[in-house]
A = this chain, B = another copy of it.
Amino acid sequence: MPILRLPWWGKRMLPSGQMIYEFAERLFPICRSITGEGVRATLRLIQERLPSLRIREVPSGTQCFDWTVPREWNIRDAWVIDPDGRKVIDFKASNLHVVGYSVPVDTEIDLEELDQHLHSLPEQPNAIPYVTSYYTEGWGFCLTHQQRQSLKPGRYRVKIDADLQNGSLTYGECILAGETDREVLLSTYICHPSLANNEVSGPCVTTFLAEWLMERKPRRYTYRVIFIPETIGSITYLARHYEAMKQRVIAGFNITCVGDDRAYSYLPSRAESTLADRVALHVLQHLHPGFQRYRYLDRGGDERQYCSPGIDLPVVSVMRSKYGTYPEYHTSLDNLNLISPEGLYGSYRVLIRCLACIESDFVPLMTVPCEPQLSKHGLYPDLSTTEGAAALTAIMDLFAYADGQRSLLEIAEKIGQPMWDLVPLAGRLRAAGLLKDKAAEPAILGHPVSANS
Binding site for B on A (CB under 8 A): 65-67, 135-136, 231, 234-235, 238-239, 242, 270, 296-297, 299, 304-305, 307-312, 365-366, 368-373, 375-376, 396-397, 399-404, 415-416, 434
Contact B308 A399, beta carbon cutoff 8 Å: yes
User: What is the CA–CA distance of A445 and B136 in the complex, to the nearest angstrom?
Assistant: 42
**Which one, B370, B396, B400, contacts A65 given CB within 8 A?**
B370
Contact A404 B370, beta carbon cutoff 8 Å: no
Task: Give the chain B neighbours of A297 by CB distance below 8 A.
Answer: 397, 415-416
Copy number in this complex?
A: 3
**Which one, B67, B310, B370, contacts A66 given CB within 8 A?**
B370
User: What is the CA–CA distance of A16 and B47 in the complex, to the nearest angstrom?
Assistant: 73
Say yes or no: A305-B370 contact (C-beta < 8 A), given A375-B135, A415-B297.
yes
User: What is the CA–CA distance of A135 and B304 in the complex, to the nearest angstrom?
Assistant: 60
Q: Nearest chain-B residue to A300 (Cβ)? A: B396
User: What is the CA–CA distance of A312 and B401 in the complex, to the nearest angstrom?
Assistant: 11
User: What is the CA–CA distance of A414 and B162 in the complex, to the nearest angstrom?
Assistant: 45
Q: Nearest chain-B residue to A369 (Cβ)? A: B310
**Which one, B66, B308, B371, B434, contacts A304 given CB within 8 A?**
B371
Contact A376 B308, beta carbon cutoff 8 Å: no
Task: Give the chain B neighbours of A308 by CB distance below 8 A.
Answer: 366, 369-371, 399-400
Could you list 4 further interchain pairs (A-B, Cβ under 8 angstroms) beyond the known A65-B369, A239-B370, A299-B400?
A135-B373, A235-B370, A242-B369, A309-B399
Say yes or no: A309-B365 contact (C-beta < 8 A), given A373-B67, A375-B136, A396-B304.
yes
User: What is the CA–CA distance of A67 and B305 in the complex, to the nearest angstrom?
Assistant: 56
